[in-house]
Amino acid sequence: MIHPSHGGGKVSQVTSAPARTKRPTMVDVAALAGVSVKTVSRVVNNAPYVQPEVAQRVLAAVAELGFRRNHLASSLRSGQATATIGLLIEEIANPFYATIAGAVAEVASEHDTMLLIASSEENPAREQQLLRDLCARQVDGLLVVPAGEDHAFLRSEVERGTPAVFLDRPAGGLPADTVLIDNRGGAHAGVRQLVERGHRRVGILLDSTAIYTMRERLAGAQDALAAAGLADDRLIRYGIRDPETAARVVGDLLDEPDPPTAFFALNNRISLGAVEELHRRGSDAALLGFDDFDLSRLLPYPFTVVAYDTRTLARTAAELLFRRIKGDRSAPRDLLIPTELVNRGLPRH
Amino acid sequence: MIHPSHGGGKVSQVTSAPARTKRPTMVDVAALAGVSVKTVSRVVNNAPYVQPEVAQRVLAAVAELGFRRNHLASSLRSGQATATIGLLIEEIANPFYATIAGAVAEVASEHDTMLLIASSEENPAREQQLLRDLCARQVDGLLVVPAGEDHAFLRSEVERGTPAVFLDRPAGGLPADTVLIDNRGGAHAGVRQLVERGHRRVGILLDSTAIYTMRERLAGAQDALAAAGLADDRLIRYGIRDPETAARVVGDLLDEPDPPTAFFALNNRISLGAVEELHRRGSDAALLGFDDFDLSRLLPYPFTVVAYDTRTLARTAAELLFRRIKGDRSAPRDLLIPTELVNRGLPRH
DNA sequence: TTGAAAGCGCTAACAC
DNA sequence: GTGTTAGCGCTTTCAA
B-facing residues of A in 288-307 (CB < 8 A) are 294-295, 298-300
- Give yes or no for residue A156 having a pLDDT over 80: yes
- Check residue A125 and give its pLDDT: 97
- Check residue B22 and give its pLDDT: 81
A69 touches strand D (CB under 7 A): yes
Nearest neighbour of B92 by CB, restricted to A105, A188, A349: A105
The angle formed by the CA atoms of residues B236, B242 and B244, to the nearest 5 degrees, is 90
Q: Give CA–CA dist A173/A152, Å, rounded.
A: 5
- Give yes or no for residue A34 having a pLDDT over 60: yes
Q: pLDDT band for position A78 (50/70/90)?
A: confident
Sequence-distant (6+) residues with CB within 8 A of A272 are A243, A246, A293, A299, B295, B298
Higher pLDDT, residue B1 or A212? A212
- Check residue B20 and give its pLDDT: 56
- Could you tell me the residue ranges of all domains in chain B? 1-69, 82-181+311-333, 183-307
A38 touches strand C (CB under 7 A): yes
Q: pLDDT band for position B1 (50/70/90)?
A: very low
Picking from B11, B23, B149, B320 by the largest number of A CB atoms within 10 A of its own CB, the best residue to mutate is B23
- Check residue B217 and give its pLDDT: 98
Q: b vs e for A128-141, b when ≥16 Cβ sit within 10 Å of the residue's Cβ?
A: bebbebbbbbbbbb
Burial-class residue A295 by CB neighbours within 10 Å (0-12, 13-18, 19+).
middle
Per-residue model confidence as pLDDT tens digits over B265-291? 999 999 999 999 999 999 999 999 999
- Check residue A134 and give its pLDDT: 97
Mean pLDDT of all residues in A3-29: 55
Distance C9 C1' – B68 CA (angstroms): 11
CB atoms under 10 Å from CB of A255, counted, come to 9
Distance D11 C1' – A77 CA (angstroms): 6
Amino acid at A303: F
Q: Do B137 and A72 touch (CB under 8 A)?
A: yes
Nucleotide nearest to A49 (CA to C1'): C1
Per-residue model confidence as pLDDT tens digits over A258-288? 999 999 999 999 999 999 999 999 999 999 9
* Percent over 90 (pLDDT), chain B: 85
Mean pLDDT of chain A: 92
Chain A neighbors of B89, CB-CB under 8 A: none
Mean pLDDT of chain B: 92
Choices 3.30.540.10, 1.10.357.140, 1.10.1530.10, 1.10.260.40: CATH for B1-69: 1.10.260.40
Distance C3 C1' – A68 CA (angstroms): 22
Q: Is some CB atom of chain A closer than 8 A to the CB atom of B211?
A: no
Per-residue model confidence as pLDDT tens digits over B106-159? 999 999 999 999 999 999 999 999 999 999 999 999 999 999 999 999 999 998
Higher pLDDT, residue A229 or A4? A229
Q: Is some CB atom of chain A closer than 8 A to the CB atom of B336?
A: yes
- The residues that bridge with A287 in the sheet, in sequence order, are A263
Q: Give CA–CA dist B2/A33, Å, rounded.
A: 68
Per-residue model confidence as pLDDT tens digits over B20-64? 578 899 999 999 999 989 999 999 988 878 888 888 999 999 999
Distance C11 C1' – B79 CA (angstroms): 10
CATH top-level class of B82-181+311-333: alpha beta
- Give yes or no for residue A148 having a pLDDT over 80: yes
- Give yes or no for residue B15 having a pLDDT over 50: no
Nucleotide nearest to A42 (CA to C1'): D11
Question: How many A×B Cβ pairs under 8 Å?
Answer: 285
The reply to whether B183-307 shares the fold of B82-181+311-333 is yes
By DSSP bridging, strand B114-119 and strand B84-89 are: parallel
Burial-class residue B343 by CB neighbours within 10 Å (0-12, 13-18, 19+).
exposed
- Give yes or no for residue A293 having a pLDDT over 70: yes
Q: Is some CB atom of chain B closer than 8 A to the CB atom of A152?
A: no
Burial-class residue B143 by CB neighbours within 10 Å (0-12, 13-18, 19+).
buried
Sign of the alpha-carbon torsion through A282, A283, A286, A291: negative
Q: Residues B268, B272, B277, B278: what is their CA dihedral angle, to the nearest 10 degrees?
A: 70
Choices 3.30.300.30, 3.40.50.2300, 3.40.1130.10, 1.10.287.3510: CATH for B183-307: 3.40.50.2300
B45 touches strand C (CB under 7 A): yes
- Give yes or no for residue A3 having a pLDDT over 50: no
Chain D positions with an atom below 7 A of a protein C-beta are 1-5, 7-13
Distance from CA of A261 to the nearest CA of B (A): 24
Nearest neighbour of B188 by CB, restricted to A2, A158, A171: A2
SS3 state at B248:
helix
Distance from CA of A185 to the nearest CA of B (A): 4
Q: pLDDT band for position A136 (50/70/90)?
A: very high
Q: Is some CB atom of chain B closer than 8 A to the CB atom of A241?
A: no
Sequence-distant (6+) residues with CB within 8 A of A216 are A183, A184, A187, B6, B7, B8
- Check residue B161 and give its pLDDT: 87
Mean pLDDT lowest among A13-22, A144-153, B158-167, B203-212: A13-22
Question: pTM for this one?
Answer: 0.91
Q: Give CA–CA dist B89/A238, Å, rounded.
A: 39
